[in-house]
Structure 1
Amino acid sequence: MSLISTVLKISEALTPLSTMTYLSSKLTDVPLGKFTQFLIKEFIKTYKIDINEYENTDLSSYKTFNEFFIRKVRSDLRPINENAVAVSPVDGTVGQADKIIAGRLIQAKGIDYSLNGLLGGNASDSEVFEDGNFACIYLSPANYHRIHMPLDGKLVKTIHIPGKHFPVGKRNISYMPDLYTKNERLVCIFETKIGPFALIMVGAALVGSINTVWDGTVIRRKNVQEKTFDDEKFTYKKGDEIGHFKYGSTVICLWKKDSGNIAPEFVPGKPVLLGQAMINEN
Structure 2
Amino acid sequence: MKQSIYRLSIELTNKKWSSYILRKFVQSRLSRPLISSFIRTFNIDVNDMQGSTQDYRTLHDFFIRKLKEDARSVQYGENDAVSPVDGLLAETGTISDRLQIMVKGKPYSVLDMLGTREKASPYMGGDFAVFYLSPANYHRIHSPIDGIVENRWSLGTHSYPVNDLGLLYGKDALSKNYREITELQHPLGKVSVVKVGAMFVNSIEYVHERESWKQGEEVAYFTFGSTVILLFEKDRFRFSEGKAVPREVKMGETIGKFNA
TM-score (norm: length of structure 1) = 0.81
Deviation at 1:267, TM superposition (A): 4.3
C-alpha distance in 2 between matches for 1:235 and 1:149: 10
Structure 2 counterpart of 1:270, which letter? R
Deviation at 1:78, TM superposition (A): 1.3
Deviation at 1:182, TM superposition (A): 2.2
Deviation at 1:15, TM superposition (A): 5.6
Structure 2 counterpart of 1:79, which letter? S
- 1:242 maps to what in 2? 219
* 2:148 maps to which of 134, 151, 154: 154
TM-superposition CA deviations, 1:243-267 (whole Å, max 9, x none): 0001110000011112110223764
Ranges in structure 2 where 5+ consecutive residues have no aligned partner: 1-8
- 2:13 maps to what in 1? 16
Identity among equivalent pairs (%): 31
C-alpha distance in 2 between matches for 1:254 and 1:265: 21
Query: Is the CA contact 1:94–1:266 (under 8 Å) kept in the aligned structure 2?
Result: no
C-alpha distance in 2 between matches for 1:191 and 1:160: 18
- 2:37 maps to what in 1? 42
TM-superposition CA deviations, 1:66-87 (whole Å, max 9, x none): 1111111223231111246110
Which stretch has the larger CA shift, 259-268 or 168-177? 259-268
C-alpha distance in 2 between matches for 1:262 and 1:18: 39
Query: Is the CA contact 1:136–1:250 (under 8 Å) kept in the aligned structure 2?
Result: yes
* 1:261 maps to which of 218, 238, 260: 238
Q: What pairs with 1:126-145 in structure 2 (closer than 5 Å)? A: 126-145=120-139
Question: C-alpha root-mean-square deviation of aligned residues, in Å?
Answer: 2.0
- 1:118 maps to what in 2? 113
TM-superposition CA deviations, 1:79-133 (whole Å, max 9, x none): 1112461100001112211110121111212x1111111101x211111111111
C-alpha distance in 2 between matches for 1:265 and 1:140: 25
Query: Is the CA contact 1:112–1:177 (under 8 Å) kept in the aligned structure 2?
Result: no
Query: Is the CA contact 2:159–2:173 (under 8 Å) kept in the aligned structure 1?
Result: no
C-alpha distance in 2 between matches for 1:77 and 1:37: 25
